[in-house]
Amino acid sequence: MMASYTPMIQQYLKIKAEHQDAFLFFRLGDFYEMFFEDAKKASQELEITLTSRDGGSADKIPMCGVPYHSAAAYIEQLIKKGYKVAICEQTEDPKAAKGVVKREVVQLITPGTVMDGKGIHESENNFIASVSEFRDGYGLALSDLTTGENLAVFIERIEDVMSEIYSVSAKEIVVSSKFNEHTAAQLKERCGATISIEDGEITERIEIAKHLPGEELTETFMRLYTYLQKTQKRSLDHLQPVQVYELEEAMKIDLYSKRNLELTETIRSKSKKGSLLWLLDETKTAMGGRLLKQWIDRPLIRASQIEERQEMVETLINHLFEREDLRERLKEVYDLERLAGRVAFGNVNARDLIQLKESLKQVPSIKELVGSLNHKKAKERAGLIDPCGDLLDLLEEALHENPPLSLKEGNLIKDGYHQKLDEYRDASKNGKDWIARLEQQERAYTGIRSLKVGFNKVFGYYIEVTKANLHLLEDGRYERKQTLTNAERYITPELKEKEALILEAENNICELEYELFAVLREKVKQFIPRLQRLAKQMSELDALQCFATISENRHYTKPVFSDNEVKVIEGRHPVVEKVMDSQEYVPNNCLMGDSREMLLITGPNMSGKSTYMRQIALLSIMAQIGCFVPAKEAVLPIFDQIFTRIGAADDLISGQSTFMVEMLEAKNAIVNATKDSLILFDEIGRGTSTYDGMALAQAIIEYVHDHIGAKTLFSTHYHELTVLEDKLPQLKNVHVRAEEYNGTVVFLHQIKEGAADKSYGIHVAQLAELPDDLISRAQEILKQLEQTGDKPELPAVSEKKSAVREEPAQLSFFADGEKEQKAPAVSNKEKQVLEAFKSINILDMTPLEAMNEMYKLQKKLK
Ligand SMILES: Nc1ncnc2c1ncn2[C@@H]1O[C@H](COP(=O)(O)OP(=O)(O)OP(=O)(O)O)[C@@H](O)[C@H]1O
Ligand SMILES: [Mg+2]
């Protein structure tokens, strides 16, 4: 079958067979072509025209292509959609080829291994992961090709693996073909990642992985490394020694809670704006931005580590001028980590090296500045900074100040760096000087004032004389080169000779400069480990100055750590405060500890219950990453984990119902929390019917109280639950204060001791301008319910049912008890609405659901 194809298509099919899971970009002249299924799929995904060509078989072969020079944008589009692209180049000179030109795949670009393009955010890592399953858990390895960072961790539960992958937003996960299919599918869905298979032989341990403890991590990392090698087919010298960590070293925040607390992106728009990361980000370098995100993802749990950061932050707060200076200098420091990556990859250009040089120039003063800070730790830090002065000298000596992007046009290397280069440059310059003088000379000699000496790429140097002046030229001295409409261009033997000299010199210059640059690049390669260390130091300084800056600007306080006590005086929600203008924000206290491990929060809708709960979690996270916190005073324990059950995180992807997600999140907390954890349960049980939900809520509170003892904030609409305070010694009621003013509620957003006396749901409905009749009816029902206590029957509604049935023409439903009023006639439509309204069980609805229902009904009537 294959034999009937042309040799080129046969070659294509052979290569394609090895890259089934990637689009094969097959280089043909100035295009990358795709054939067969690839072509069909690519033409759809990229919206490019599908054509066809003869390939030796009876049917034409589907084909589409993209121009070589604009391929990057197309590749990026495919990668973004989770595809892989194999770049297949001609690897021999077509002129020298016998038969079909040799072609090979030179690089496989995958979502986890892209090095540049819009997909790479400068303030985010681009991690690729690999997961292996073992008897008692999972090995997880992470690698960022752009920065050279490598991490490895052993994790017992797959949920925690997913959390880790989610929090670093790895776009690709490498597994062996034996990996559990179901788990792989879950990973793919939950993390939105591409799954890649790698079964290659795990070769001998490489240097950066030598120290890995145990076979599990070695196998996991080596699988990833093998995959990287196979796809990249080039030097991976910049990969740093694998850093082994343990989940227990950091505060654990599961995937749901990270999302719920909007640590690095908001729930609704999935954007950074509005998240904690957005609020805190006062970093000046891309590396610092990435480190900040890593810190937020993994808050510390060891007091000594937290305090070390705190001390630096405090010192920087106390040295305003030095800090401002540091910020100015850091602004000039480019992304050393990614520069180092590009040096290793061999795709660094002269402008990159200039950036490197400019960055290194800042380091001595940064070192001095940090050393001058009045703190032992700062001085130690400064002492450790290696400014790589030898590299700076090398770059200053070698590199031209203003090099072009291209490496083939010269202008890369400074005068005086290389003798031969200087000679060529002299030769070229002499020649050019001679030519510059030629115009004057020839004008004098011929007497033609308009005579010009010029240069163009096709004809080289020439002397141009207008047709009117041709008679003034001496016979035999000028050789005609080109004829224009009203001028002739000439050359003289002398000019020809100089031209040859200049061109040769320039050619030599470009070639030599390219060579010298390549050598320089190799030399810079030797500095990669030192540069990476420097990058780490700079990014830490940047993240620490960021904390100092934000803490001072927003008047944060240094938190103090306690064993068990929470004492936050005048705390604020950092993000809400920023968004709403701080004068309006009402600060709140939070006191927890002995005999107050759990707080039951009641209060009207919209009063600020959720905000208050999130605030405590965010303050704890900020404290444990080393930042100061928005409060007048803050004493906090060090939490080992934070769990949240906060609405609005419907897991649409996994297709689970809201209530199921609610229960899963609750389970996650109940199973894993310890007495050192923080749990936020925001209106648990709201998603099911009243008594069902209330029963669940009470059972959950009792369970946490009796079996876990974690610090717990539990907000609820069920006032009935407030009686639990008498039964459970660790539970205290608090409420958010609201007041009635002229018949409407005023939210004070103030947390007070004790239970709320009233639910103001009806007032909120009123604020939302539901019909007056409806509001007064709701008030009536409420009154009746309050009289009957908490009996589950809904007597008011059932009574009315019969009333309507008996006297259908009467609108007694709305005008309750005023039968003497004249009833208007009721249309069919109105009857339908009434029927619908009757069947609604208001007590089972959230206020929002009630509003929606009202809206629908009202619309029907209009
Ligand atoms: N301390 C505060 N100071 C000023 N405004 C606040 C404060 N707390 C909350 N708010 C404002 O009140 C709004 C409602 O807050 P939140 O969502 O926390 O209320 P809630 O009690 O949880 O409401 P629901 O019961 O409907 O869930 C917020 O959008 C915020 O703008
Ligand atoms: Mg709420």
Q: Residue 458's domain is classified under what CATH number?
A: 1.10.1420.10
* Ligand 1 contacts CB of residue 611 (under 6 A): yes
* Ligand 1 contacts CB of residue 607 (under 6 A): yes
Q: Which of 105, 37, 25, 104 is nearest to 70 (CA)?
A: 25
The bound ligand whose nearest atom lies closest to the alpha carbon of 613 is: 1
Q: Which of 113-122, 242-251, 810-819 has the highest mean pLDDT?
A: 242-251
Could you read off the pLDDT of 437-453 as tens digits, one per residue?
999 999 999 999 999 99
CA of 856 to the centre of ligand 1 (A): 27
Q: Which of 260, 568, 570, 576 to mutate for ligand 1's pocket (most ligand atoms within 8 Å of CB)?
A: 576
CA of 612 to the centre of ligand 1 (A): 8
Q: Whose CA is nearest to atom 30 of ligand 1?
A: 608
Q: Which of 580, 607, 612 to mutate for ligand 1's pocket (most ligand atoms within 8 Å of CB)?
A: 607
The response to whether 605 counts as a known ligand-binding position is yes
Together in a domain, 587 and 733: yes
Whether residue 378 is contained in a domain is answered as: yes
Grade residue 412 by pLDDT with cuts at 50, 70 and 90: very high
Together in a domain, 704 and 814: no
pLDDT of residue 816: 39
Ligand 1 closest atom vs CA 747 = 12
Which residue, of 83, 109, 135, is where some domain finishes?
109
Strands 252-253 and 243-245: unpaired
CB burial readout 606-645, b (16+ within 10 A) else e: bbbbbbbbbbbbbbbbbbbbbbbbbbeebbbbbbbbbbbb
CA of 564 to the centre of ligand 2 (A): 27
Could you read off the pLDDT of 796-846 as tens digits, one per residue?
443 333 333 333 333 333 333 333 444 456 677 777 778 777 777 777 777
Could you read off the pLDDT of 655-710 as tens digits, one per residue?
556 777 788 888 889 999 999 999 999 988 776 677 788 888 999 999 999 999 99
DSSP bridge partners of 557:
629
CA of 601 to the centre of ligand 2 (A): 11
Q: Whose CA is nearest to atom 26 of ligand 1?
A: 605
Which residue, of 82, 109, 136, is where some domain finishes?
109
357, 396 Cβ separation under 8 angstroms: yes
Together in a domain, 293 and 240: no
Could you read off the pLDDT of 331-342 as tens digits, one per residue?
999 999 999 988
Q: Whose CA is nearest to atom 1 of ligand 1?
A: 586
Cα–Cα distance between 24 and 33 in angstroms, integer?
A: 8
* Ligand 1 contacts CB of residue 451 (under 6 A): no
pLDDT of residue 798: 35
The response to whether 732 counts as a known ligand-binding position is no
The response to whether 606 counts as a known ligand-binding position is yes
Together in a domain, 180 and 213: yes
Ligand 1 closest atom vs CA 717 = 25
CA of 607 to the centre of ligand 1 (A): 5
Together in a domain, 518 and 433: yes
The response to whether 608 counts as a known ligand-binding position is yes
Whether residue 740 is contained in a domain is answered as: yes
Grade residue 651 by pLDDT with cuts at 50, 70 and 90: very low
CA of 259 to the centre of ligand 2 (A): 16
Together in a domain, 686 and 586: yes
Whether residue 499 is contained in a domain is answered as: yes
Together in a domain, 745 and 657: yes
The token pair at 377 is: 């730790």
* Ligand 1 contacts CB of residue 586 (under 6 A): yes
Query: Domain containing 176 — which CATH number?
Result: 3.30.420.110
Whether residue 121 is contained in a domain is answered as: no
Which residue, of 476, 499, 522, is where some domain finishes?
522
Mean pLDDT value across residues 492-504? 90
Whether residue 782 is contained in a domain is answered as: no
Whether residue 256 is contained in a domain is answered as: no
* Ligand 1 contacts CB of residue 218 (under 6 A): no
CA of 605 to the centre of ligand 1 (A): 8
CA of 608 to the centre of ligand 1 (A): 3
Could you read off the pLDDT of 341-355 as tens digits, one per residue?
888 888 889 999 999
Q: What angle do CA 269, 275, 277 make, to 5 degrees?
A: 130
* Ligand 1 contacts CB of residue 163 (under 6 A): no
Together in a domain, 721 and 663: yes
Cα–Cα distance between 401 and 378 in angstroms, integer?
A: 34
Could you read off the pLDDT of 600-611 as tens digits, one per residue?
999 887 889 999
How many residues does the structure list for the chain? Answer: 862
Cα–Cα distance between 239 and 536 in angstroms, integer?
A: 14
Together in a domain, 467 and 585: no
Ligand 1 closest atom vs CA 580 = 31
Whether residue 663 is contained in a domain is answered as: yes
Together in a domain, 654 and 569: yes
pLDDT of residue 861: 77
Write the DSSP string, 44-105.
Answer: HHHT---EEE--SSSSPEEEEEEEGGGHHHHHHHHHHTT--EEEEEE-S-TTT-SSSPPEEE
**pLDDT of 87 above 90:** yes
Ligand 1 closest atom vs CA 603 = 21
The response to whether 383 counts as a known ligand-binding position is no
Number of domains into which the chain is organized: 6
Chain Cα centroid distance, residue 118: 12
Near ion ligand 2, which residues have CB within 5 Å?
Answer: 610
* Ligand 1 contacts CB of residue 23 (under 6 A): no
**pLDDT of 255 above 90:** no
Residue 389: CB atoms within 10 Å: 11
Residue 582: CB atoms within 10 Å: 14
Single-letter amino acid code for the residue at 416: G
* Ligand 1 contacts CB of residue 749 (under 6 A): yes
Cα–Cα distance between 74 and 617 in angstroms, integer?
A: 43
* Ligand 1 contacts CB of residue 128 (under 6 A): no
Q: Whose CA is nearest to atom 9 of ligand 1?
A: 608
Domain that holds residue 616: 560-753
Ligand 1 closest atom vs CA 613 = 18
The DSSP letter of residue 683 is S
The response to whether 372 counts as a known ligand-binding position is no
Together in a domain, 235 and 342: no
Whether residue 75 is contained in a domain is answered as: yes
Long-range pairs of 443-447 with CB within 8 A, sequence gap ≥ 24: 446/472, 446/473, 446/474, 447/472
**pLDDT of 795 above 70:** no
The response to whether 604 counts as a known ligand-binding position is yes
Q: Which range (21-35, 188-202, 377-391, 771-785) has the least confidence?
A: 771-785
Together in a domain, 537 and 566: no
545, 326 Cβ separation under 8 angstroms: yes
Q: Which of 576, 579, 611, 681 to mutate for ligand 1's pocket (most ligand atoms within 8 Å of CB)?
A: 611
The response to whether 609 counts as a known ligand-binding position is yes
